[in-house]
Amino acid sequence: MDPIEHLRQDYRSGTLDTEDLAGTPLHTARRWLDEAVAAGLPEPTAVTLATVDEDGLPDARVVLLRGLDDDGLVWFTNRSSAKGAQLAATPTAAVVAYWPALERQIRFRGPVELLEDAACDAYFAARPRGSQLGAWASQQSRPVPDRAALEARVEEVAVRFGDGSVPRPPYWGGYRMTPRQVELWQGRPSRLHDRLRCTRQDGGWVIQRLQP
């Protein structure tokens, strides 16, 4: 028998009920994110972003959330990457955050749009120079012969920009998801977890408790 079959943990650190939802579900999501940051968890803003490719095959990868408020979720990437091509063809996504130490998961689903240029420029300008050069050097998701080829490309780009400022590459920017659905999940003992699914309807949110 595979030893991972026996790994088992009971979740007991919290509970979740409708009265815990103050404001919109996005406010609660933001509070949970802030609590993950305050708890000092590693990479508290790392979330899994799922998209679909042109054959309808799902794809998923981790990105860092750079915004979460009533307007939705924001992340940044290379728009010519695999995820960028997938979002251009099918501008919808699912995002899931999981904070094991807090025994909490949040799932978001909804349409995705390009973030405005001004917000992309401001974020790119605030990135460390190494990341700015990396954005120019990396054709994200494309094959590269070896590590040396990538590093040579970074060197080339560094020479090109010299001591000057590094502008945002035209193919690099942000996305915003406006969630249609937000599900908050709090682990409970014996797998009888608390789940509240919040769905936008008529300008408000409908909240349903789901079976675990």
Ligand X SMILES: Cc1cc2nc3c(=O)[nH]c(=O)nc-3n(C[C@H](O)[C@H](O)[C@H](O)COP(=O)(O)O)c2cc1C
What are the residues binding ligand X (CB under 6 A)?
A: 43, 46, 59, 61-64, 75-77, 81-83, 140-141
State the catalytic residue, choosing from 129, 142, 160, 191. Answer: 191
> Judged by CB, which is closer to ligand X: 34, or 59?
59
> Judged by CB, which is closer to ligand X: 29, or 49?
49
66 among known catalytic residues? no
Q: 45 Cβ partners below 8 Å, 6+ apart?
A: 33, 37, 64, 65, 66
Please return the burial class of 189, using the count of CB atoms within 10 Å of its CB with bins 0-12, 13-18 and 19+: exposed
Q: How many residues does the chain have?
A: 212
Taking alpha carbons only, the member of 104, 132, 114, 122 closest to residue 41 is 104
Rounded to a whole number of angstroms, the minimum distance from the CB of residue 141 to ligand X is 4
Dihedral (Cα; 33, 134, 76, 124), 10-degree rounding: 90
> Judged by CB, which is closer to ligand X: 83, or 104?
83
Rounded to a whole number of angstroms, the minimum distance from the CB of residue 84 to ligand X is 6
Rounded to a whole number of angstroms, the minimum distance from the CB of residue 161 to ligand X is 21
Give the pair of three-digit tokens for residue 136.
Answer: 């120019």
What residues are labeled active site?
191
